[in-house]
């Protein structure tokens, strides 16, 4: 930057440009060498023909990909109805954990207990316990639906994570701000609402983005209790064709969503870092 | 003369144990041992108490009979466990053959090898007494309206579509246990299984479970035939097929079937 074409370049600028060119050249060459080695050497492995037929089978891919895309719609639907509920419950939990009124101690303790339990359990365990356990009590249809209880399991676990992230945001707002707001005559809840939360939530947006990317992948766990979403559909194809290629198709579909989302989260984080410094 | 010498050498090598017949000699993973894989866990009535080495249960008994035909004594049989995914993944296998109710299909045959069928299964509809009481009959028209479940790794999934064609998308699960859990929770009305598995689940696992009807084994379309699974191109396949043919001809296979799989003549046939 900053080099004005109307002036001759300084010696230093010429030197730096040459260094940059050299770095780019070496980087390009070494990347090309590694790629070439992979492309040329992997097919030489004795089992490559079998691996190619079972994992990278074009015919199976073409036959199963439309079905996988269709099943992915269910993943998106589950994500869309879970995400807002997770946000609401997570926020409520974070606020409950931060309560400072002595009379509300039971509520604060309940929030702490809830977060400890659901953050400490593997998601699949919660899905099994809630997805099969609660309907097993004898609820009539449609109240025993695996969609309903499976989603609830996801919501409970992810709300616990989101609550902790939001709490870290709340704690990042310095106490002096609360005291200042209180001294201006705002009530405790108004301080939270107008002073603390607007700053806290903005600060944890990138971290929450990461959680929602993780959620997008964990939606597939609902398949364990019945719904035929993309992961289960890929499993069915795998069994029918005795071929793992459908999993590759499913992986590509997930990546098509998660890579842009991750990049966006990175972008948000970078912007925030720049704004602070 | 040469045959005699070979036999003598094999006998010596095997240290006095029973010798393999000419076909199987040198074709197994480890000389003098037949390594057989089954599921983890292996389910009743295919293997009793998840203990295949006892030889009890239909598939355990078939495995030992095949071994004997090929000249392996029971002591020379070794059991290992392999999931469905392990069985179809490319690369060397740690078993000579694998039996866990693998249905033979054309698509699977492109990746692994199957023996000739050792059992042809009827498909049965497992449901609960409550559903039967609500007026469901063993007819395809009546079954279409039910909420269906199946084990996602089995050929029951395509058969459900082909034989019944349910109105609503079926629920699919990772194994038998999850299917029955969903049925118990009232999340599905009925599930499609091979008949022996369905009989066991109805009698022992599902509370109030019952068999609504069956698609008989000798139906012309979509028969469900079980085969022993081999690594693609395993030369042992021919020996096993010869052994199976002997077992069929001598009536031994039918005997084993009669001993371990109960006859379900009372189950109505679905029209």
Residue A191 has pLDDT above 90, yes or no: yes
Give me the mean pLDDT over the A120-147 stretch.
90
Q: What's the whole-number average pLDDT of chain B? A: 86
Note whether B148 and B99 are same-domain residues. Answer: no
Residue A3 has pLDDT above 80, yes or no: no
Q: Compute the CA torsion angle B82, B87, B91, B97 (nearest 10 deg).
A: 80
Q: Cα separation of A158 and A156, whole Å?
A: 6
Q: What's the confidence (pLDDT) of residue B17?
A: 46
* CA atoms A99, A103, A107, A112: torsion sign: positive
Residue A224 near chain B (CB below 8 Å): yes
Note whether B211 and B246 are same-domain residues. Answer: no
Q: Are B185 and A135 in contact (CB under 8 A)?
A: yes
Tens of pLDDT, residues A25-75: 999 999 999 999 999 988 888 888 888 888 999 999 999 999 999 999 999
Note whether B96 and B10 are same-domain residues. Answer: yes
Note whether B48 and B101 are same-domain residues. Answer: yes
Q: Percentage of residues in chain B with pLDDT exceeding 70?
A: 90
Which residue is closest to B169 within chain A, CA to CA? A228
Contacts of A31 (CB under 8 A, 6+ apart): none
Q: Cα separation of A63 and B116, whole Å?
A: 28
Residue B192 has pLDDT above 90, yes or no: yes
Residue B5 has pLDDT above 70, yes or no: no
Q: Cα separation of B249 and B244, whole Å?
A: 9
Q: Which residues of B touch A (CB under 8 A)?
A: 84-85, 88-91, 105, 107-108, 110-112, 149, 152-155, 157-158, 169-174, 178, 181-182, 184-188, 232
β-strand partners of B37: B80, B98
Tens of pLDDT, residues A157-188: 999 999 999 999 999 999 999 999 999 999 98
Note whether B186 and B232 are same-domain residues. Answer: no
Tens of pLDDT, residues B63-102: 999 999 999 999 999 999 998 888 888 778 889 999 999 9
Residue B7 has pLDDT above 90, yes or no: no
Residue A245 has pLDDT above 50, yes or no: yes
Is B221 within the bounds of a domain? no
Q: Are B20 and B240 in contact (CB under 8 A)?
A: no
Note whether B71 and B27 are same-domain residues. Answer: yes
Tens of pLDDT, residues A201-225: 988 988 898 899 999 999 999 999 9
Query: What one-character DSSP code corresponds to residue B204?
Result: I
Contact B152 A55 (CB under 8 A): no
Is B200 within the bounds of a domain? yes
Note whether B111 and B238 are same-domain residues. Answer: yes
Note whether B209 and B232 are same-domain residues. Answer: no
Q: What's the confidence (pLDDT) of residue B16?
A: 41
β-strand partners of B120: B225
Note whether B167 and B130 are same-domain residues. Answer: yes
Q: What's the confidence (pLDDT) of residue A275?
A: 81
Q: What's the confidence (pLDDT) of residue A47?
A: 82
Is B265 within the bounds of a domain? no
What CATH number has the domain bearing residue B209? Answer: 3.40.190.10
| Domain extent for B125 | 121-215
Note whether B68 and B149 are same-domain residues. Answer: no
Q: What's the confidence (pLDDT) of residue A122?
A: 94
* CA atoms B201, B44, B85, B111: torsion sign: negative
What domain count does chain B have? 2
Q: What's the confidence (pLDDT) of residue B11?
A: 46
Contact A236 B152 (CB under 8 A): yes
Residue B204 has pLDDT above 80, yes or no: yes
Contact B153 A240 (CB under 8 A): no
Model-level ipTM above the cut of 0.85: no
Q: What's the confidence (pLDDT) of residue B224?
A: 86
pLDDT band per the 50, 70, 90 thresholds, residue A4:
low
Note whether B29 and B63 are same-domain residues. Answer: yes
Which two structure tokens, joined as six digits, stand for B187?
């999340």
Tens of pLDDT, residues A78-127: 999 999 999 999 999 999 998 888 999 999 999 999 999 999 999 999 99
Q: In what order do the strands lie in the sheet with B148-151?
A: B171-173, B148-151, B190-194, B123-128, B209-215
Contact A240 B107 (CB under 8 A): yes
Note whether B150 and B192 are same-domain residues. Answer: yes
């Amino acid at each position: 930057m900053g080099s004005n074409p109307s002036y001759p370049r300084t010696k230093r600028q010429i030197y730096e440009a040459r260094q940059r060119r050299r770095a780019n050249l070496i980087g390009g060459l070494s990347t090309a060498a590694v790629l070439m080695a992979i492309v040329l050497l992997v097919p030489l492995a004795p089992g490559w023909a079998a691996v190619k037929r079972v994992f990278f089978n074009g015919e199976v891919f073409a036959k199963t990909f439309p079905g996988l895309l269709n099943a992915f719609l269910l993943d998106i639907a589950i994500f869309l109805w879970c995400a807002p509920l997770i946000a609401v419950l997570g926020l409520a939990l974070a606020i409950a954990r931060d309560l400072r009124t002595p009379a509300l101690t039971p509520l604060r303790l309940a929030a702490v207990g809830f977060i400890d339990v659901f953050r400490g359990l593997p998601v699949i365990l919660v899905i099994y316990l809630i997805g099969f356990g609660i309907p097993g009590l004898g609820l009539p249809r449609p109240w025993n639906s695996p969609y309903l209880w499976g989603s609830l399991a996801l919501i409970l676990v992810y709300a616990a994570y989101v609550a902790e992230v939001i709490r870290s945001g709340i704690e990042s707002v310095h106490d002096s701000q609360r005291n200042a707001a209180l001294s201006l005559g705002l009530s405790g809840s108004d301080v939270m609402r107008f002073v603390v939360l607007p700053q806290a939530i903005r600060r944890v947006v990138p971290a929450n983005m990461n959680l929602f990317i993780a959620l997008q992948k964990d939606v597939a766990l609902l398949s364990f209790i019945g719904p035929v979403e993309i992961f289960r559909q890929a499993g069915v194809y795998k069994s029918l064709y005795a071929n793992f290629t459908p999993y590759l198709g499913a992986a590509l579909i997930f990546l098509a969503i998660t890579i842009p989302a991750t990049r966006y989260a990175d972008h948000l984080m970078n912007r925030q870092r720049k704004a602070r410094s | 003369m040469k045959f005699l010498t070979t036999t003598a050498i094999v006998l010596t090598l095997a240290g006095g144990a029973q010798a393999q017949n000419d076909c199987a000699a040198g074709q197994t993973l480890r000389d003098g041992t037949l390594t057989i894989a089954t599921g983890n866990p292996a389910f009743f009535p295919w293997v009793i108490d998840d203990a295949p080495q006892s030889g009890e249960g239909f598939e355990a008994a078939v495995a030992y009979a095949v071994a004997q035909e090929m000249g392996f004594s029971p002591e020379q049989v070794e059991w290992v466990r392999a999931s469905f995914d392990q069985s179809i993944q490319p690369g060397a296998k740690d078993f000579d053959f694998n039996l866990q109710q693998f249905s033979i299909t054309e698509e699977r045959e492109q990746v692994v090898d199957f023996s000739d069928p050792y059992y042809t299964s009827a498909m049965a509809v497992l449901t609960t007494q409550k559903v039967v009481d609500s007026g469901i009959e063993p007819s395809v028209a009546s079954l279409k309206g039910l909420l269906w479940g199946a084990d996602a790794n089995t050929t029951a999934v395509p058969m459900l579509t082909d034989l019944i064609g349910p109105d609503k998308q079926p629920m699919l699960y990772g194994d038998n246990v999850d299917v029955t859990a969903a049925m118990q929770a009232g999340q599905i009305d009925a599930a499609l299984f091979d008949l022996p598995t369905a009989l066991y689940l109805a009698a022992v696992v599902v509370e109030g479970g019952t068999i609504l009807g069956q698609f008989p084994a000798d139906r012309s379309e979509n028969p469900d035939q079980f085969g022993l699974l081999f690594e693609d191109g395993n030369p042992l396949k021919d020996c096993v097929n010869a052994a199976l043919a002997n077992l069929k001809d001598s009536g031994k296979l039918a005997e084993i079937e009669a001993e371990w799989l109960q006859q379900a003549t009372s189950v109505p046939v679905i029209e």
